[in-house]
Structure 1
Amino acid sequence: MADPRPLRVGVDIGGTFTDLAVLDDRGIVAVGKTLTTHREPAAAVEQVLRQTLEEHRLDPAAITTVVHGTTLVTNALIERRGARTALLTTEGFRDVVEMGREHRYELYDLGLELPRPLVPRHLRFGVRERLRADGTVLTPLDVDTVRRLGVELAAAGVTAVAVCFLHSHTNGEHERRAREVLDEVAPELRVALSCEVNPEIREYERTSTTLANVYVQQLVETYLADLRERLRRCGVRTDPLIMLSHGGVAALETARRFPIRMLESGPAGGALGAVAFGRAAGRPDQLAFDMGGTTAKLCVVERHRPLVTHTFEVDRVYRLRAGSGLPVRAPVIDMIEIGTGGGSIARVDPLGLITVGPDSAGSEPGPVCYGRGGTRCTVTDADVVLGYLDPARFLGGEMDLDAAAAEAAVKEQIAEPLGVSVAEAAWGVHTTANENMANAARVHAVERGQDPGRLPVFVSGGNGPLHGPGVARALGAPAVVAPPAAGVLSALGFLSAPMSIDIVRSRHALLSELDVDAAAALFAEMAREGTDVLVASGVSDVDVTCERTLEMRYVGQGGEIEVPVPPPDGPGWRDAVLAAFRDQYAQRFGTVAPSGVEPELLTWRVTASGPRPRAHLGFESTSDGSGALLGHRDAYFAPDGYRSTAVYDRYRLAPGTVLEGPALVEEREATLLVPPGARCSVEADSSIVVDFTAGGPR
């Protein structure tokens, strides 16, 4: 039974399914997928791990690494399932989290709904203290008030406290002293300091981020302890590593201390998978498209790197409207999330138009065709009616789909209200979902200075290969790349991520007046801090590399752009920074600033990383192509209607195979749709590339 080769496991908990992938030094050994258990997320991890190990006769003692990603933090913030939390802030500033930036994200909406703070006003307290902007003390900390509040808060049932004093990003002395006092009088309180969680300018974002971090900390600690225990019961001897939102992994202790950095850990895996396959195939620029059961995510990959941002919003009142959610300052892969997935509910609106999402049937109860009590027509129900999914082979035959129930739901809820056939109604749902995602992708790419029509679309997720070709055609993209095991690619992508931590400081300076020696000292201090975190997590200090960036703008502007810079090494460094800033500025905005306007620096960042794991994410193919054609079934393609369509077994396709559309290529977790007029080929790394330049309609 035992497999002598060391095994590495990636696990991703999504809104509908929990995915698992197992690698050895030659490639993918096994994959697994099960429905997510929302009340006990770690239960699904234990279930899918046990099933996969038993099915493939793998020894859990051979597992050397487990990397885990989850949407637990995001869901807890959205559902308000965190701890009873209080805020201590500078006297006169307790309403910062409610006032925000006094920005109306919808100017003419008289009933505008603003994001609700995590802490109500009666649990926000001002403390007498004050630091100047340069960090010097103007008014000493009122220790007696902090002591009194600690006792009262503990007695009132508060279990978490965020401390966020004015200008503490330049001097954390008062915040650290406040924590010492709270630890003395109420040691059971969890205390988060803004000078540690987010030492950056802008009080609203810094306060909101610190509150969010401590709000979910107890929940995350409990979950991680449960996950660790369940892995132990499965025979896994190593502690899991946790996927962070910016594309690196961290040890349990880092995740416990800064759970806010796990905010988008699950969606990061799809982008990392796109990077790994892109490196192997020489595709530096791509649009990574991940579509699961609940949402779709899109991310631009430039020069083998997913774009990263440091501002994110949670629980938006209006899903696509910036400013309508709770701001969080943490490094996250820059992706747009659309409320369109396989479980997204389709309906006819009052204008007689088909709409899809953003609400989803998820896994409980799921689409109608799942037979788990769902009654609302979903995208997956439409795909079953169109013949794209085989009801008898879904999840490798482990889950039967009720095609008749899906057809009845489409007929009653879409076709009859519109006065069209069931097939036309299902096609309308399918194409509406594709157009929604393509429109979002187009805006996302253009805002980042990219032409979506030149980027190949890398698809992942259980529904990515099925809908990705439609999205690509709507964008005018040249090709779609479908990797092996696309349905669990996030779990695979985790295994290509290095250990990594992001260190940040805010120090304002004009570039022309910057002391290069002081810059070198600050970067060195940050690099040491990042290196110490990684060494404590088991990385050798000689294997740590550091990348430096600056957030810069022209004087008078209100927003910054991130600029990669070399280490400060002499008087020519300022000129190198200026050139890098101008290049980034021109790429983003298509222009340069007028003469006479000076650049300034606001935020300094160092990303410390360990070595990138050597991970072959493909299957070790030994197939000669025989038996790959499973047969034919009717599938719908407008305007022709249902056509007899060849169905292939993904695992039996040999590298070099070329197929003409229409075709359906099935594997256990996903189905690739090759539209009429397109041609696909199987690459050496087992990816399938769907080429839209071969002919046929675009």
Structure 2
Amino acid sequence: MSTNKPFRVSVDVGGTFTDVAIVNTLTHELSVAKVPSTPADPMIAVMDGLRQGNVELSQVEVFSHGTTVATNALIQRRFPAAALVTTKGFRDVLEIRDGTKDELWDAYKDVADPYIRRRDRYEVEERVDFDGTEITPLNEEEARHVARILKRKGIETVAICFINSHANAAHEARMYEILREELPDAAISTSSEILPEIFEHDRFSTTVSNAVLAPLVTGYVNRLSRQLAEGGYEGDLLMLHSGGGSMTPQMVSKYPVRLAASGIAAGAIAVQDIATRCGYPNAIGLEMGGTSTDISLVYGGDIRITKQWQVEYGFPICFPSIEVGTIGAGGGSLAWIDEAGSLRNGPQSAGADPGPVCYERGGTEATNTDANVTLGRLGTELIGGALKLNKSAAEEAVRKTVADPLGLGIETAAEDIIKVANANMADAVRVLSIRRGYDPRDFVLVVGGGAGALHGAEVARDLSIPTVVVPPHPGVTSAQGCLLVDIRHDISQMYQSPVSSVDKDDLRKAYELLKAEGRERLAKEHVPTERMKFKRTASMRYRGQWRSLTVELPESGSPLEDAVALFHDEHEREYSFADRDGEVEFYQIGIVAIGELDSPPFAHFEVVEHEASTPATYRDVYFSAGGGWAKVPVYQRTELAPGATLVGPAIIDQLDATTVIPPGDVAVIDEWANIRIHIGLADTKDELHSFAHNLQSAGVNA
């Protein structure tokens, strides 16, 4: 860390707001800024946020960025002219897919069309066997003919996907050379480089996604890099990718699809860091923004990773990614009544434009934000007064949308809107936890996003989670997560063999080749050798299984035997079954190449037990569990020192979020300036007294 450049800055672009987090590495101070997003050109909001945060780019040592550019492009299908070149007879792999449907029982709902139209998918004669043996040479005359057609059509990006290229990439490499001669400026992705794996649908889909995103994402990243450089920033722009690491623009140009879950991953990384510093090995992250809620899981200090995910059903992206469940439950989610007369919430959203009715920007239907304003849980100002909220408009929207149609009072209707939203989020948590073999009661709930702290305590109560942690700046959790990531690359290759037949020397050499590639990538990103770290992974399965589970190979002891034991344990936890006498086989091996960056320091405070200071004001807030309307103290978070204790009901306001402490719950400011809400603790005086007594010990997880 250079004392001449003491600042680390991160920016996360969300659907409604763009968040900026700034850490001064000398004073350990964390400051934030929040501006409305600009969907037409996200870079405008990025630069607006930097100006609002008074960021002097020449004083910035590290600049990291989580972006929704790739995600939005896939959702909105704003693609450049793209083409696919494949083996003769395999033109329709993208449409055949794996034969599954999102709505299994809906005969009329089809999976969306592939990202590349059939008329832009071209076949070339060539064939490689499953083991890499050439059966039919590449027909170079056909290849050149296709290249000339693509040139005439003005194709900007091409995906090359030949069958069995994972076993022998020679034909794809030659096709690349031929295309490059005719299309010198086009972006070209080969499946053997993007995803050298056996399943053709997964490989084709991932490579096509990479290809269609390449011009868009690379263009955005390069424009932002130039803008930052013109402002005085001298370092590399670090882009957060779905695997929980970061990449420089040079690597983004090769693997743009890795940014397709960029901002989502950042929130999970922040949850891991917050929970670890608080002493909790198990944490569930709930980040509720303006349009959606992202849910992540940390177990034993590690974030749960998945190897297959998708922005749109039927088009998997098969890079290792932080597993995040996303549902349409945000501050702008719309309340509506279905044909059976039942109250629903989301996934439809008012979004950033027009936004909730109380924003007075043209919205007409009640949202979660309108319900919270109606109940007094949310005040009439956001972002430090920059956004005014009209309570009367919110009440009228709740009345027209829900109260009158269902014959309810306005307060009951507003609270029911919130209850349905909370139930949706609790169900999503169950999918990611209970269905995976985890008990939510063994976890802490870390809430983030602009609306997470409004709903967190009640969601935790629904799930019997005992403690909620609200970080110092919950509204910029994802931006804070961007500050914490190292440079990371996940590199893999097929390696199919029963464990009992593995040649240990051959396996070691295979890992060394992967490690060499990882070292080369990190060197291109200016990572010093002493900052390089490598982890070995293996995807394993029982003989006869189709899908595999990934475990990390220990560096010491008996790596093969220990890996098999870990596989059995993971299989039992995931599926409640383990055949410990069954034959286990390798499916794939991989290397995680990490370029370690200095972690930004966060301020740590002395905890001194005391009652919370005098509230800034009182507000009428409605809690049916508390008997209805009551004058509830409203505190400014900046006035609450570590060790302060509050008994609900209470409200805590700050620039980027509002925290609701329902009746019966107890909140404490801890040594990291987090708010820890202990669900139902106020019901037991002895527990409360014991808890307050223990506050004087820093690091206590009462």
Q: Bin the TM-score by the shorter chain.
A: over 0.9
Partner residue, 1:616: 601
Partner residue, 1:605: 590
Contact 2:244/2:485 (<8 A) preserved = yes
Partner residue, 2:189: 192
- Residue deviations 1:629-651, cap 9 Å, x none? 21211111124221211111111
The correspondence for 2:662, drawn from 675, 686, 689, is 675
Letter in 1 for 2:387: M
Structure 2: give runs of 5+ residues left out of the alignment: 685-702
Corresponding position: 1:631 with 2:620 = no
Letter in 2 for 1:418: L
Letter in 2 for 1:358: P
Matched ranges for 1:125-524 at <5 A: 125-316=122-313, 325-392=314-381, 394-524=382-512
Contact 2:8/2:600 (<8 A) preserved = no
Structure 1 runs (4+) greater than 6 angstroms displaced: 619-626
Contact 2:647/2:682 (<8 A) preserved = no
Contact 1:625/1:652 (<8 A) preserved = no
The correspondence for 2:649, drawn from 627, 652, 662, is 662
Contact 2:5/2:61 (<8 A) preserved = no
Secondary structure of the residue that 1:609 maps to in structure 2? strand
Secondary structure of the residue that 1:439 maps to in structure 2? helix
Letter in 1 for 2:662: P
Q: Distance in 1 between matches of 2:448 and 2:332?
A: 16
Q: State the Cα distance separating 1:590 from its structure 2 match.
A: 1.9
Contact 1:512/1:574 (<8 A) preserved = no
Partner residue, 1:27: 28
Q: Distance in 1 between matches of 2:229 and 2:613?
A: 41
Matched ranges for 1:551-566 at <5 A: 551-566=539-554
Contact 2:30/2:602 (<8 A) preserved = no
Contact 1:275/1:301 (<8 A) preserved = yes
Q: State the Cα distance separating 1:616 from its structure 2 match.
A: 2.9
Contact 2:286/2:296 (<8 A) preserved = yes
Q: Distance in 1 between matches of 2:58 and 2:329?
A: 39
Secondary structure of the residue that 1:74 maps to in structure 2? helix
Q: State the Cα distance separating 1:231 from its structure 2 match.
A: 2.4
Secondary structure of the residue that 2:387 maps to in structure 1? coil
Report the TM-score when normalising by structure 1: 0.94
Contact 2:7/2:60 (<8 A) preserved = yes
Q: Distance in 2 between matches of 1:359 and 1:229?
A: 37
Partner residue, 2:15: 15
**Count of residues paired in the alignment:** 679
Distance 1:158 1:625, change over 3 A: farther
Partner residue, 1:322: none
Q: Distance in 1 between matches of 2:602 and 2:164?
A: 46
Partner residue, 2:694: none
Q: Distance in 2 between matches of 1:115 and 1:453?
A: 39
Distance 1:177 1:232, change over 3 A: same
Q: Distance in 2 between matches of 1:29 and 1:341?
A: 26
**What percentage of residue pairs aligned between the two structures are identical?**
36
Partner residue, 2:68: 71
Structure 1: give runs of 5+ residues left out of the alignment: 317-324
Contact 2:293/2:327 (<8 A) preserved = yes
After superposition, the CA RMSD in angstroms is 1.9
Contact 2:398/2:414 (<8 A) preserved = yes
Q: Distance in 1 between matches of 2:599 and 2:297?
A: 23
- Residue deviations 1:232-253, cap 9 Å, x none? 3544333311001111111111
Q: Distance in 2 between matches of 1:157 and 1:409?
A: 50
Q: State the Cα distance separating 1:448 from its structure 2 match.
A: 2.1
Q: Distance in 2 between matches of 1:115 and 1:518?
A: 43
Q: State the Cα distance separating 1:257 from its structure 2 match.
A: 1.4
Q: Which stretch of the first structure deviates more once superposed, 481-490 or 353-362? A: 353-362
Q: State the Cα distance separating 1:105 from its structure 2 match.
A: 4.3
Partner residue, 1:591: 577
Contact 1:50/1:234 (<8 A) preserved = no
Q: Which stretch of the first structure deviates more once superposed, 258-267 or 636-645? A: 636-645
Letter in 1 for 2:515: A
Contact 1:289/1:296 (<8 A) preserved = yes
Distance 1:175 1:230, change over 3 A: same
Letter in 2 for 1:345: L
Contact 2:101/2:110 (<8 A) preserved = no
Report the TM-score when normalising by structure 2: 0.94
Partner residue, 1:320: none
Q: Distance in 2 between matches of 1:76 and 1:675?
A: 40
The correspondence for 2:58, drawn from 57, 61, 77, is 61
Letter in 2 for 1:24: N
